[in-house]
A = this chain, B = another copy of it.
Amino acid sequence: MSKTFTGVVPPVLTPFTAADHPEDLTSLPTIDHAALRTQARRLIDAGVHALFALGSSAEAVFLTREQRREVIESVVAEAKGEVPVIAGVIDTATPRVLQLVGDAVEAGVDGLVATAPFYVRTHPKEITEHFRRIHAAAPELPLFAYNIPVSVHVPLAVDTLMELAADGVIAGIKDSGGVDGYTRAVVEARNERGLDDFTVLTGSEMTVDLAYLAGVDGVVPGLGNVDPVSYVELHNLLVQRDFEAAAKLQTKINKLFRIATIGDPARMGGSSAGLGGFKAALVHLGVFPAGVMAPPHQPLNDQELALIAQIVDEAQVREP
């Protein structure tokens, strides 16, 4: 198994069309598949190396099983084999994840990303069995373990990862833990054990330069939805080992990240502010018709939207 998912692998956001009757609380927004494909195409044109559908920033856990399948189908259809597509199968526990795996396989994905079980707090032995069963259900697809303690409330132990990697259960990790030493430790453990095909992707979009210096193989940047060209450029600098230039570009990119922090914490949570900022930027850039999020996300107000537009303008985002 060679490394399929390296480089810039943006987690494609899921655009929505506003509910027909927003004042009716039972009326829900629907997926805007045209906008989804527009964005997938835009990312491919920017030179990204793969697409990640149904990540956390795709509002995966806000989507029904049917919607999740549709999202994969649209992304796969647009990718046309030009870039591989990896899909999140994020759910509370094994039986439900296995359903999602079946759907994803049928929809034609090239790889899978799964978290540890959540809601119920789990033991390393339970986590291990969880991944073994997922792999058994789709043995032909590379499976990535998704380390995201902020959501799952338990980190994936390095030893657990290495055991699963050595047994051929997982092909890599998508690390959204944000902890300095952890990513480094995973890379060093991989290298010491000669597990050369084990892929390490960082989800920390503001420290990509550091992660590459530590030895990761790629990045899954939510902000890459807004400025994919810069992330591809950053990757190229890092592949050329020009860390000085990369650090400068990273700092420039990070100014754009302020769009994810404009939403008022008195009125909404971090997900509403962050995704709302990303989506508002894509509306401002003309990519998404609407910045709608799945409920119960809270919308940004006009003042916040204006501020985001200003930050996007200042960043001079280049279109592919």
> If the complex has contacts A25-B132, A26-B137, A122-B271, are A64 and B96 also in contact, measured as CB distance less than 8 A?
yes
Flag whether A196 is at the interface (Cβ < 8 A): no
Flag whether A204 is at the interface (Cβ < 8 A): yes
Query: With A and B bound together, what is the CA distance between A56 and B119 in angstroms?
Result: 9
Q: What residues of chain B lie closer than 8 Å to A183, measured between beta carbons?
A: 180
Min CB distance A160 to B, Å, is 13
Tally A residues with Cβ within 8 Å of B: 78
Flag whether A311 is at the interface (Cβ < 8 A): no
Q: What residues of chain B lie closer than 8 Å to A265, measured between beta carbons?
A: 123
Asked whether, in the complex, the Cβ of A296 is within 8 Å of the Cβ of B119, the reply is no
Secondary structure dominating the interface of A:
helix
Query: With A and B bound together, what is the CA distance between A28 and B94 in angstroms?
Result: 10
Flag whether A121 is at the interface (Cβ < 8 A): yes
Flag whether A42 is at the interface (Cβ < 8 A): no
Flag whether A157 is at the interface (Cβ < 8 A): no
Asked whether, in the complex, the Cβ of B184 is within 8 Å of the Cβ of A206, the reply is yes
Q: Which of B91, B153, B207 contacts A214 (CB 8 A)?
A: B207
> If the complex has contacts A130-B296, A269-B121, are A98 and B210 also in contact, measured as CB distance less than 8 A?
no
Residues A62-99 near B (CB distance < 8 A): 62-65, 67, 90-96, 98-99
Flag whether A310 is at the interface (Cβ < 8 A): no
Flag whether A270 is at the interface (Cβ < 8 A): yes
Q: Which of B63, B99, B204, B214 contacts A247 (CB 8 A)?
A: B214
Q: Which of B61, B94, B130, B213 contacts A120 (CB 8 A)?
A: B61
Q: Which of B96, B118, B271 contacts A121 (CB 8 A)?
A: B271
Q: Which of B117, B125, B130, B133 contacts A267 (CB 8 A)?
A: B125
Flag whether A241 is at the interface (Cβ < 8 A): yes
Asked whether, in the complex, the Cβ of A251 is within 8 Å of the Cβ of B188, the reply is yes
Min CB distance A3 to B, Å, is 20
Q: What residues of chain B lie closer than 8 Å to A251, measured between beta carbons?
A: 188, 191
Interface residues, chain A, with chain B CB atoms under 8 Å away: 24-26, 28, 56, 59, 61-65, 67, 90-96, 98-99, 117-123, 125-130, 132-133, 136-137, 150-153, 178-181, 183-185, 188, 191, 204, 206-207, 209-211, 213-215, 241, 243-244, 247, 251, 254, 265, 267-272, 294-298
- Known contacts A61-B120, A213-B247; 11 additional CB pairs below 8 A are A25-B136, A67-B95, A120-B269, A121-B270, A123-B268, A125-B268, A130-B295, A180-B210, A209-B214, A241-B243, A243-B243
A sample of 6 cross-chain residue pairs with beta-carbon separation below 8 angstroms, ordered by A number, consists of A25-B137, A91-B92, A118-B118, A119-B151, A123-B269, A127-B296
